[in-house]
Amino acid sequence: MSVDNPSGDPATNRPRTYAVAGQSIHADSLAPGLYVVATPIGNLGDITLRALETLAAADVVACEDTRITQKLLERYRIRAAMTPYHDHNAAAARPAILRRLAESKAVALVTDAGTPLISDPGFKLVRAAQAAGHRVFAVPGASSVLAALCVAGLPTDRFYFAGFLPPKPSARATRIDEFANLPATIVLFEAGSRIAQTLADLAERLGAREAVICRELTKLHEEVRPGLLAEQATHYAGEVEVERRGEFVIVIGPSKDTPVEVADIDALLRSALANGSTKEAVDAVVGATGASRRNVYRRAIALKNNAE
């Protein structure tokens, strides 16, 4: 295994081979260009033969963390030059990779897990390579987004991938409100340290929705947990210890309810406001209709102002 050397090509004399089931296979040379290569999201067996051929034949592999990529390469006995390319060094590393491409080299771009450009910094490199006239090739494979959709049992004809929600509460609330009227299944990423709070925010603002929590997909402790958003929020915020380590994908089903007319919401709010506070009234109407909390709250304030 070799790490990138900025002077020349450190991999010129290395064997361009990979091993499958104990058999060493020669990798044919690649046309010059940038190869966007999907790697496993957990189980190292989930890699395509074309990905192995590409990694073995590439002049250099650009990766988020060389230690993680090295484990994959070692599994398949690939000796390759690696160069780091991640959020913290992308601006400085991009010109060096573009120079490689200008020298008619084949560069493989990988992420730590899954398909590059999905919540990682590869987007700017692909644009820069295209702008410079270099070819960009897709080497498709594993994706945690698609894996989660496959096992969630929720509609897949239309889905919206939202990545990670903003960490600040106000920005997160605004983003969630944007989902309220989307006629599609929503897919989110979340860290274990924030899963309970995020689910509570989703339940509060989206109302009664089906949600499937996928944790550690394809790994030893894979977990797929269906339920309603409110149930999921309670489960992960409960006093009983639950597993919050690992990578989480949240899949939220579209609203099953026919959109509620403003007049109907207003009628429900008037009744609820007569018997409780604004918050209680909004909670009741959101729970009964599945309407956006943000929209219901606005109608409640408007009704109170008109009544004064």
Topology alike, domains 2-142 and 145-252: no
- Domains in the chain: boundaries: 2-142, 145-252, 262-307
pLDDT at residue 8 greater than cutoff 70: no
Do the Cβ atoms of 282 and 294 come closer than 8 Å? no
Mean pLDDT over each residue of the chain, to the nearest integer:
89
Element (H, E) at 95: helix 90-102
Question: How high is the pLDDT of residue 260?
Answer: 62
CATH architecture of 145-252: 2-Layer Sandwich (3.30)
Report H helices in the chain: 49-57, 66-75, 90-102, 122-131, 144-152, 169-179, 195-206, 229-237, 262-273, 278-289, 293-307
pLDDT at residue 12 greater than cutoff 90: no
Tokens representing 128 are: 């820069």
pLDDT tens profile 119-149: 777 899 999 999 999 999 999 999 999 999 9
Amino acid at the residue 82: M
Strand order in the sheet with 247-252: 159-164, 185-191, 247-252, 210-215, 223-228
Tokens representing 276 are: 């409780």
Strand ranges (DSSP E) for 79-201?
Answer: 81-84, 106-109, 136-139, 159-164, 185-191
For residue 89, CA distances in Å to 96, 129, 137, 275 come to 11, 17, 23, 58
pTM above 0.85, yes or no: no
Alpha carbons 174 and 294: distance in angstroms, whole number: 9
In degrees to the nearest 10, what's the CA dihedral of 74, 77, 81, 84?
A: -30
Tell me the average pLDDT across 73-98. 95
Do the Cβ atoms of 270 and 280 come closer than 8 Å? no
Number of Cβ within 10 Å of residue 140's Cβ equals 12
Number of Cβ within 10 Å of residue 306's Cβ equals 7
pLDDT at residue 56 greater than cutoff 60: yes
Question: How high is the pLDDT of residue 262?
Answer: 74
Question: How high is the pLDDT of residue 175?
Answer: 93
pLDDT tens profile 172-198: 999 999 998 888 999 999 999 899 999
Q: Which CATH class is domain 2-142?
A: alpha beta
Region of 216 (left: φ > 0; alpha: ψ -120 to 50; beta: rest) is left
